[in-house]
Every structure is written in C-alpha cells, then in structure tokens.
Amino acid sequence: MGAALPASLDDVWADQLTAAEGEAVLALVARATAVDGTAGLNEDAHFALTDDSAAHLLQESDGTLVGYLQWQPDHSTAQLVVDPAHRRQGIGSDLLTRLEERTPPAVWAFGDLPAARAFAVSRGLAPSRVLLKMSATLGEVPAPELPEGLTLRGFTPADAAELLAVNAAAFADHPEQGDLDADGLARRMAEDWFDPEGLILAFDRAGLAGFHWTKAEHGVGEVYVLGVHPRAQGHGYGRLLLQAGLSHLIEAGSPTVNLYVDAADRIAVRMYERAGFAEVHRDVLYTRTQE
C-alpha cells in the first residue's frame, strides 16, 4: 500500500521517487554524511527510496537537490537531510512546516549533533526516544557452551515463517523491528551482505526460541537483530546468542562490531556493556513538546 499523501499538498509530496530522484537523494545524503560523520538516513529510509512505503518532499536550488524529507506513515516518523552548503537558509524549517501541515512532527536526528539539537529546540521539539549506537573491538570470543536441550544452527528458507513469528513476539513493543514481514525479510536477505550462517537460530524443545542475525560489511560486524521469544526469556538465551554471533563475526574477519539498542532497554544495554560494548553516539527522535 502506498503512503497516504496530504490532500492539500499533492503537488509537492510524492508517494514514490523516480530513479533519478532516488539517485539525487543518495548524492545529497553522501554530501551530508561526509560533513556530519553520521548517516543521514537509516536502513528503512534507504529501502523506501525504491518502493511506495513512504512519502517524500524534495527541495531544489538551481537544479540541485538541497533538502529532503521522508515521512514513514507505518512508523509515524520522519527523516530530514539538508545539503551542508545550503544550511541556515530555512530549508529544514520549510520542510518541517510542510510536514506539520500533515501530522504532528516526529523527526529522527542521527548522531544528535549540536546543530540538530538547536534546530529541534527552535521548533519546539524535545527528545522522546533514544537509540544508542554501541561498538566494541573484540579479541577471541569462543562459541558458547549450550545447556541441554538448546541447539544453534544457521538459517534455511524453511525457517522464514517461524523466524517472523518469533521476531514479532520478541519485538511486539518495538516501533520498527516488530513490523518486519515476509517482503521485508526477503528484501534484507537479497542484500549482498546476507549470510545464512550468520543468522543464528536457537531451538529448544518447544521450537525456535530466539535468533541472532549478524551482519558484516567491509570488515565491520554488526549485531543486526538479536531477539528471544517471550516464552524463552529468563534462561540466558540472549547472552548465549550474543556470544555465538560475536564468535561468528570474529571468525569471519570482523572483530570490530557495532549495534543499535534502545536506551530504555536497560537489560539489553547492560548485557552489551558486559560483553565489552560502549556507546559511541546516539540517535534521538524529537517530537512536539507538550504544552
């Protein structure tokens, strides 16, 4: 289903980008990333550049894209990028105003840079959610010793339905991850980095208990998704799956490992800290301050 466009703004919103527009957005994001040192759009936003899952606002100057806003109705959040050479000219404010004509704003600031914080305050926005990016450079991590009745193995296509069911249960309260469906799973598995052996599944006597989906690109690993079914929580499976995934990444030649975790999930944050991870930056969702 395509993104719902504001009825009064059909002439400025687009529910799908052309190939040329998508390339222009990627070029804009690259320029911003080079200056800011942090990604301008997250993974979901990159996928939305080539489908109809989001609504898009583009602002040009002399034929060059200088501002871009993406609204994701499924998550009720937006992402906004302004060309570094055209900042402090009201472009971000103009894009946000157009968003406000449609919906109360909820905008991600990746890296939560000082300029982003100042912009949010000037528009009456305040932090409502924080994602921590954590990183570790690890030495040898042995494969975990498993309790009786628990087995680990890599993913096979026959596991897809059960994986989606466990993901939905594990992330029922997560605004993005819990919405993963068959199309989203297939799209991620079509990426060059996907390794079925790096998607580690944990089975107990009742079936799939949890999983650790690892990712490795350019020699850097990632705890991409780690989830345990609510019925299997409290047995240390998350720690065992983390250890198994880190061991896999190190053996694959990726000793530096990154991850993202909701700052409010103190149990997960402490688990990662005990495994040697430390915060390197944070992404903040800014929403309208309650009056």
Q: What is the pLDDT of residues 250-289, one digit of tens each?
A: 999 999 999 999 999 999 999 999 999 999 999 999 998 7
Confidence of residue 50 (pLDDT cuts 50, 70, 90): very high
Residue 264 lies in a domain: yes
Could you tell me if residue 129 is inside a domain?
A: no
Same domain, 86 and 151: no
**Residue 163's domain is classified under what CATH number?**
3.40.630.30
119 within some domain = yes
Taking the C-alpha atoms of residue 272 and residue 154, their distance in angstroms, rounded to an integer, is: 22
What integer best gives the mean pLDDT of the chain? 92
Residue 4 has pLDDT above 90, yes or no: no
Q: Do the Cβ atoms of 166 and 160 come closer than 8 Å?
A: no
- For residue 4, the SS3 value is coil
Strand partners, 129: 285
DSSP letters of 141-161?
A: -PPPPPPTT-EEEE--GGGHH
DSSP-based three-state secondary structure for 188 = helix
Q: Are 285 and 107 in contact (CB under 8 A)?
A: yes
The total number of structural domains in the chain stands at 2
Using DSSP's 3-state secondary structure scheme, residue 59 falls into strand
Q: State whether 173 and 116 are in the same domain.
A: no
Residue that is last in its domain, among 101, 123, 145: 123
Same domain, 159 and 270: yes
d(CA 130, CA 273): 17
Name the packing angle between helices 160-170 and 182-189 (round to 10°): 110
Shared domain check, 204 and 150? yes
Pair 195, 243 in one domain: yes
208 with 264, same domain?
A: yes
The residue type at 155: F
Tell me whether residue 288 is in a domain.
no
Per-residue pLDDT tens over the stretch 98-146:
999 989 999 999 999 999 999 999 999 999 999 999 999 999 999 999 9
What does the alpha-carbon distance between residue 131 and residue 264 come to, in Å, rounded to a whole number? Answer: 8
Asked whether residue 97 falls in the same domain as residue 177, the answer is no
Domain that holds residue 176: 135-280
Q: What count of residues does the chain have?
A: 291
139 and 269 assigned to the same domain: yes
Q: What is the pTM of this model?
A: 0.89
* Same domain, residue pair 148 and 272: yes
Edge-to-edge strand ranges of the sheet holding 55-61: 13-14, 55-61, 64-72, 77-82, 106-109, 278-288, 125-137, 256-262, 220-228, 207-217, 199-204, 151-154
Domain match, 43 and 93 both: yes
Are 246 and 275 found together in one domain? yes
Domain boundary among 123, 153, 170: 123
Distances (CA, A) of 224 to 2, 5, 13, 200, 264: 27, 32, 32, 11, 18
State mean pLDDT over 182-209.
Answer: 96
Closest CA relative to residue 286, chosen from 124, 136, 141? 124
pLDDT above 70: residue 2:
no
pLDDT at 22 over 70: yes
- Cα gap 5→7, rounded to integer Å: 6
Asked whether residue 275 is domain-assigned, the answer is yes
